[in-house]
Structure 1
Amino acid sequence: MSTRPSRSFLLFYFYLLASLTRCIFAGEAAWNGHTPPGASKPKTFSPYYVAPGAKGYSSSSPFLQYKGDWQTIYSPNFNHQAVQSTCQKHASVSFSFNGTGVEWFGNCDERHGTASVYIDKNLAAVINTNCDATSPIPSQRQFSTFSLRPGFHRLVIENSGDGCIDLNDIVVTRVGQSSRPPLRHQSQRRSSASDWTLEVDGSTGVNAMQLAVISETHAIIIDKVEHNPLTINHHPAWAGLFELQSRQVTPLEMQSNSFCAGGSFISNGTLINVGGNPVVVDHTSAADFGDLDGLQAIRIIEPCDNDHCTTRISEFHDSVRMASPRWYNTVIRIDDGSAMIIGGSKKGGWINNATVNNPTYEYYPPKDIHGSNGMPIRSPFLEETLNSNLFPIAFSLPDGRVFLAANNDAMIYDWKTDTEERLPPIPNGVRVTYPMTGTGLLLPLSSKNNYAPEILLCGGSTLDDKQPDFKISSQDPASSQCSRIVLTPEGIRAGWEVDHMPDARLMPDAVLLPTGQIVIVNGAGSGISGYGNVKDQVGVSNAANPVLTPTLYDLSADLGNRFDSQGMPSSSIPRLYHSVATLTPDGSIMIAGSNPNLDRSEIEYGTEYRVEWLSPPYMHGARPEISKNKAKIGFGETSSLEMNLLSSSSDLKIVLMDLGFVTHAVHSNSRMVYLNIKRTSGNTLYFEGPPNSGVYPPGPGFLFIVEDGVPSKGVKIMVGDGKSPEVNQKAIDNVLKSTQPDQYEKSKETKNDNSE
């Protein structure tokens, strides 16, 4: 490495020092002027972060080998107070390491240029370290990969010569003895058309705590505030737009902390993301990330078109907010197209209790019903189901009422009359809501039985929700129980029908397929949801013994013969707390997430960014096709579509599906309706829309045709007129007059207690 600086490099060096001084005291953005807890002096914030289980190396490490003209620049503003920089073409640095991932951190500004990055002699990326800043922004993540096979690797960074590049730090991801397949990996041998397959392909960039498909081509992923590898505006992102075909992710900017928020589409196709967590001052403070208190937040995501999906997340805290703070709330779309916001906690914590419980409903847009004038409406059910009643399982029913399950209990709520009908308790003492997390589905609706609603609840725990955390173990067994009830007078009198999955599961995800079958994935065989609370933690996970093999549930089979795991490919990726799964429009199942940690971690059960794709057998053969369709379907109206079928004489069905908003094993709004076929004429299919807004609440959905059990790809449509739900300005004004933004945490920030 040369020790004699060139004249051009000296000019750049003095420019860098002067610019850094301006950057520190300019106060351009909150995360450029962060003050660590217990300190009084501002410090520059950067995305640089060494996760537990990873290892950092400074630019002066003897393990780094420099070639060409590199210079050491000293500044108290750098990590380790020094950075290596070069402006020489083809100057390079190499680094050998043992791990499954590596990150390169360096400065960026308008004078920096591009670099070629090689892993094991293969070109991994060409990185542009130039950014639109006259002042250097230090320690930005320039390159990262987290999908290398365990073992030794060699990283080489070479300057392309169109500017300067810097090296501040290298971070190596280490996962002990765990085996991590690469981002593109087939989990089983090449299969025939009759096989299920599981493939690892793509990275979410932010942990997939919340997931919703927003178009035929895109999904949105939302996380909590933490040190994700995906960055935006020089700080870690906690939301991303995921392209389903290319499997690429684009970071999205978000204002407030969305930790454990709920979400739902409304009748005009807008997605709302509701609630969250306060700023956590001793870990991810506002000075670090620039985040705001999210407890009362309503984040608005406008509808996304397939070819022009430039989704942004809008927040207007002074004019659009909830009337009360909510963490771990559930949100569903009801029959008037508005969103019903259910329960939650008034502040972050782990298990709910009477001091923080928010046993109320409110609506978006706010309603003036039952004398509420937009303010929350009390729920006796949510008062009586403590302690394990966060993220209640809820579905809007065909008669306009709402099914609710919380803890070990269930009911039907009539939101128009504010009355509750209690249902039989869930059998055998099984609790199904956080932290004894199970999952639930509204089973497919059909005119053949007059759209009689039926509910399926699977997994959870029989643990006592009143006992202290030190008496709970990560090894306490989960429940294998699935309970099923028909919500008609006769069905309610008959009570719950009990079945059992092949494996006990806590935190499972149940996904409806267009065929009417259900796939259950993810989860743990023991423990309880959350992290950092119970004894015998694995890493800091409260749960253990991940269940790695999906199971298929056949609705039409006889009791005792409905589950089948034979032929299902097993995963090598534990999917525990903060995991998700959803059907995608092409018919495959997207599986992502898992992060039972306070922040990004590489210890056992660390933060997971890899995406898996579970493909049913129909994905591997010929399929029918919807070639042309209308953008809107009216209630009870005859509509049509053009199709290409595989046979002229086939069993044909048409299904309308809401793919839902998924978080914490809650699949809000997940829905499937068999539509009535009127007739076919050539390649034209005539069918009736849902009979009313109870059977399918107005809003977006996906249409599939199913020929002899083989579904087409889904096409996005709008059910109803696509208009916004009714707006009651009086109720809105009262909410704004009666509350303040983040009123419950207005003058204080929450200190993190390392728990959920």
Structure 2
Amino acid sequence: MINCARFPLSMLFWHFLACAVVVSVAREPAWNGFVSPASDRDTQFTPYYVPPGAKAYDSNSPLLDFSGRWITSFSPSYAHHTSRWTHRLDAYVLFSFHGTGIEGFGTTSDTISCARIYIDGVLLETIKPWSKKTLAQQRLFWTFDLAPDKHTIKIVNCGPYLDISAFVVTNAKRSLDRSSPAKSSASSQVSPLPRRDTSVTSTWRLTQKGSTGVEAMQISVVSSEHAVIIDKVEHNPLVINGHPAWAALYNLKTHSVRPLAMGSNSFCAGGSYLSNGTLVNVGGNPVVEDRVGAASFGDLDGLQSVRLFDPCKSGSSSECAFYENHDALHMASGRWYNTVTRLTDGSVIIVGGSKKGGWINNATVNNPTVEFYPPKNIHGYLGLPIPLPFLQRTLNSNLFPIVFLLPDGTLFIAANRDAIIYDWKTNSERALPQLPNGVRVTYPMTGAGQLLPLDPDTNYTPEVLICGGSTINDKQAGYEISALTPASSQCSRMALTDEGISEGWQVEHMPEGRVMPDIVMLPTGQLLIVNGAGSGISGYGNVQHQVGQSNAANPRFSPLLYDPRAPRGERFSTKGLPTSDIPRLYHSVATLTPDGSIMIAGSNPNLDRSEMKYGTEYRVEWLNPPYMAKERPAILAKHTKSIPYGQSFNLQIDIPNGLNTETINFILMDLGFITHSVHANSRFVYLKHQVSTTNSFVVSGPKDEGIYPPGPAWLAVVVGGVPSQLVEVMVGNGHSPPVDEAAIANVRKTFKATQKPKSHQDDTAE
């Protein structure tokens, strides 16, 4: 339980957050009724877990070589009912294995302990297992980025006490399938546009470094040093409070990871930022109980949850935490697979979703409404959900709709094969032309969309691009759908002006089909298309010809570059782009980071953690565009911290010799909140500027909140196609969005008491 007295009063809406008594309510069955192998026991949820495809070795295995005095203990509380412990300084255990990863488990307590972990003779880390209470079957250490070869681990006691119960070795033989399905044959007709200078001649570079600790289902860069990663309740290797974590803070500079406590099940939640910089994470899944290993985890129902995270602004992350108070802080209705977007007043709109965990949406669980956070009294609904007929017409494939704020303050929304412009202030819809060729673009026939760069030279004309998806019929039952049905290669593009809408969607094609792609906006104005599969659809455990549990097959290992300002027929390129060997399918993410590199993580088309094909991925890859190898311009240290609307500010720029200074652009970017191919709030705005003196510029802020909504942003200068690192700024005054007390009070009445978490959630462990 959170101590409300410790909650910072500067956090948004502190005035209505209060500690409340919670009572137990019934739990929900497993996600979509699907049960993964070896998950048919409802037992106490501990970090010890042997995923399908991995192999366990208990402390009595003859393959383990113990040196020094070790004592064997037997108890049902231990993994495999056995454990070995020692008081002897420098006593060690030696174990040779084949695999790409290994985890060690044992008992933690309030006894001071210490162990040095060596892999192949090299010190990996020194651990100090400790917990307030004695806890068995705890994960003491883990590593998942070893070469697929033979390795030796040595664990040396460096303290008064060390307990080893079992090892779990990750299978090194996950086979890959690089076959590609047939491409779509639709034609391509796109009008040329003038090109900005984005030419860089060196090559791309892909490296693997770091582990996320929790599977990267959701990700957002929250500061210059950190990204927050959010998963569902499952057996992740990162541990907090004596059980696996399902959220983490990843240090972008050191690649270290710290678990974050989260009370409710955030499975398939949405997220966005408020105008004051607070990250809002909303929705999720009920408590999973029926015959699932996570049954006794202690999590709360996440369907109506609102989780607040005040981003870390310094190298220290010790004070960064999620805040939850489910009786005082929640949505008016349950939402699973919702999309969240920041509005011109700094609040967020929460669009669609399902009232209950499942797979393909249907009329019995559909939530065809929008609501706002903080709640507002609009159209007479006093904070309660507002019907959006578009989300009824677009059943069944309409979860995680594609939503973008347009410069006039309205919203572009796409779901299934349809799209509208929605005016949330008047609660009215304007129908747009249907996406061509029967392609569906939202979950589970998942494509991806981006709002193309907004440019004052074109009067900020909004233009959207949607790529990938599937032509599979969303009314078919799962047993009639195949994981081998080719994904769509179609990209549909339209300018959202009267003339552009009249002309309709302009179609072009990627070199190969993709479902579940990520589209990452680069500071050059180009778009990187990465991740996804060549066949099937999103999800797991539902269709024919599954690969393991995956509903998709044929991973796309090679990224693709799209230049929106290149002439027709020249926009796609694979030149110089490297190929990965890690499948990134369902529950994968990719995001631009402040140094200009692309962070790629995740993939888990499984109910729980698995090491089978296609298993759970914790490895992180870093894709460096060619500009990363060049000498780059820089915004000098004394830069502006806030950018006002309609006003100018001065910037000093350091420009290296050799860069083409004929083309200089200043840009504002929102890196977005990324999950399930939705890059919510992703935004790119060119700023007007004038030269003041050598290397000194007068830059104009956005003219109004429609061009860039108030809230956090990233500022960069691009010289001759080479961008600087991104600098964190605040657009607007940084104030909180408007608060409507009556609407808040009305929403609070709609909530049922949450279930009380298990007592072990109050334990502490480091």
TM-score, normalised with respect to structure 1 = 0.89
Contact 1:193 / 1:621 at 8 angstroms: preserved in 2? Answer: no
Contact 1:277 / 1:293 at 8 angstroms: preserved in 2? Answer: yes
> 1 CA distance for matches of 2:393 and 2:123?
60
2:563 is matched with which residue? 554
> 2 CA distance for matches of 1:698 and 1:71?
62
1:441 is matched with which residue? 450
2:483 is matched with which residue? 474
Q: CA deviation at 1:316?
A: 1.3
> 2 CA distance for matches of 1:153 and 1:739?
53
Q: Does 1:709 align with 2:707?
A: no
Distance change in 2, residues 1:100/1:414 (3 Å): same
Q: CA deviation at 1:305?
A: 0.7
Q: CA deviation at 1:737?
A: 1.8
> 2 CA distance for matches of 1:560 and 1:494?
19
> 2 CA distance for matches of 1:44 and 1:446?
56
Q: CA deviation at 1:651?
A: 1.7
Q: CA deviation at 1:209?
A: 0.4
Q: 2:279 aligns with which of 268, 271, 286?
A: 271
Contact 1:459 / 1:480 at 8 angstroms: preserved in 2? Answer: yes
2:97 is matched with which residue? 97
> 2 CA distance for matches of 1:42 and 1:547?
37
1:19 is matched with which residue? none
Q: Does 1:176 align with 2:184?
A: no
Moved more, 621-630 or 637-646: 637-646
Contact 1:226 / 1:284 at 8 angstroms: preserved in 2? Answer: no
Distance change in 2, residues 1:702/1:420 (3 Å): same
Q: CA deviation at 1:283?
A: 5.2
1:619 is matched with which residue? 628
> 1 CA distance for matches of 2:360 and 2:726?
39
Q: CA deviation at 1:282?
A: 2.8
Q: 2:322 aligns with which of 297, 303, 313?
A: 313
Q: CA deviation at 1:447?
A: 1.2
Q: Which secondary structure does the structure 2 equivalent of 1:470 belong to?
A: helix
Letter in 2 for 1:553: Y
Aligned pairs (5 A) from 1:640-655: 640-647=650-657, 649-655=661-667
Q: CA deviation at 1:684?
A: 2.2
2:642 is matched with which residue? 632
Moved more, 108-117 or 450-459: 108-117
Distance change in 2, residues 1:589/1:91 (3 Å): same
1:80 is matched with which residue? 80
Q: Which secondary structure does the structure 1 equivalent of 2:746 belong to?
A: helix
Q: CA deviation at 1:286?
A: 7.6
Contact 2:288 / 2:295 at 8 angstroms: preserved in 1? Answer: no
1:21 is matched with which residue? none
Q: CA deviation at 1:56?
A: 1.0
Q: 1:199 aligns with which of 187, 193, 207?
A: 207
Letter in 1 for 2:73: I
Letter in 2 for 1:652: I
- Any idea what the Cα deviations from partners look like across 1:153-191, whole Å, max 9, x if unmatched? 22222212x2111111111111325489xxxxxxxxxxx
Letter in 2 for 1:463: I
Q: Does 1:525 align with 2:534?
A: yes
Distance change in 2, residues 1:166/1:44 (3 Å): farther
TM-score, normalised with respect to structure 2 = 0.88
2:606 is matched with which residue? 597
> 2 CA distance for matches of 1:615 and 1:200?
11
Q: CA deviation at 1:678?
A: 3.1
Contact 1:175 / 1:604 at 8 angstroms: preserved in 2? Answer: no
Q: CA deviation at 1:65?
A: 1.9
Number of residues paired by the alignment?
Answer: 695
Contact 2:83 / 2:165 at 8 angstroms: preserved in 1? Answer: yes
> 2 CA distance for matches of 1:606 and 1:568?
25
Percent sequence identity over matched residues? Answer: 57
Q: Which secondary structure does the structure 1 equivalent of 2:749 belong to?
A: helix
Q: Which secondary structure does the structure 2 equivalent of 1:493 belong to?
A: helix
Distance change in 2, residues 1:372/1:340 (3 Å): same
> 2 CA distance for matches of 1:244 and 1:177?
28
> 1 CA distance for matches of 2:388 and 2:351?
9
Contact 2:174 / 2:611 at 8 angstroms: preserved in 1? Answer: no
> 1 CA distance for matches of 2:85 and 2:515?
50
Q: CA deviation at 1:287?
A: 6.6
> 2 CA distance for matches of 1:293 and 1:487?
39
2:19 is matched with which residue? none
> 1 CA distance for matches of 2:527 and 2:308?
31
> 1 CA distance for matches of 2:664 and 2:498?
32
Q: Does 1:451 align with 2:457?
A: no
Q: CA deviation at 1:99?
A: 1.6
Letter in 2 for 1:175: A
1:584 is matched with which residue? 593
2:9 is matched with which residue? none
Q: 2:164 aligns with which of 164, 167, 174?
A: 167
Q: Does 1:339 align with 2:348?
A: yes
- Any idea what the Cα deviations from partners look like across 1:12-67, whole Å, max 9, x if unmatched? xxxxxxxxxxxxxxxxxx9xxxxx99xxx997642000001001112112222222
Letter in 1 for 2:703: P
- Any idea what the Cα deviations from partners look like across 1:481-533, whole Å, max 9, x if unmatched? 00000000000000000000111100000011111111100010000100000
Letter in 2 for 1:127: I
Q: CA deviation at 1:226?
A: 0.6
2:10 is matched with which residue? none
Q: Which secondary structure does the structure 2 equivalent of 1:491 belong to?
A: helix
- Any idea what the Cα deviations from partners look like across 1:272-317, whole Å, max 9, x if unmatched? 0000001101356787322100000000001321334432100111
- Any idea what the Cα deviations from partners look like across 1:60-84, whole Å, max 9, x if unmatched? 1222222221111122322222211
> 2 CA distance for matches of 1:279 and 1:486?
43
Q: 1:674 aligns with which of 649, 672, 686?
A: 686
Structure 2 residues not aligned, in runs of 5+: 1-23, 25-29, 36-40, 178-199, 758-766
Aligned pairs (5 A) from 1:734-753: 734-741=746-753
Letter in 2 for 1:256: S
1:7 is matched with which residue? none
For the aligned residue pairs, the C-alpha RMSD in angstroms reads 2.1
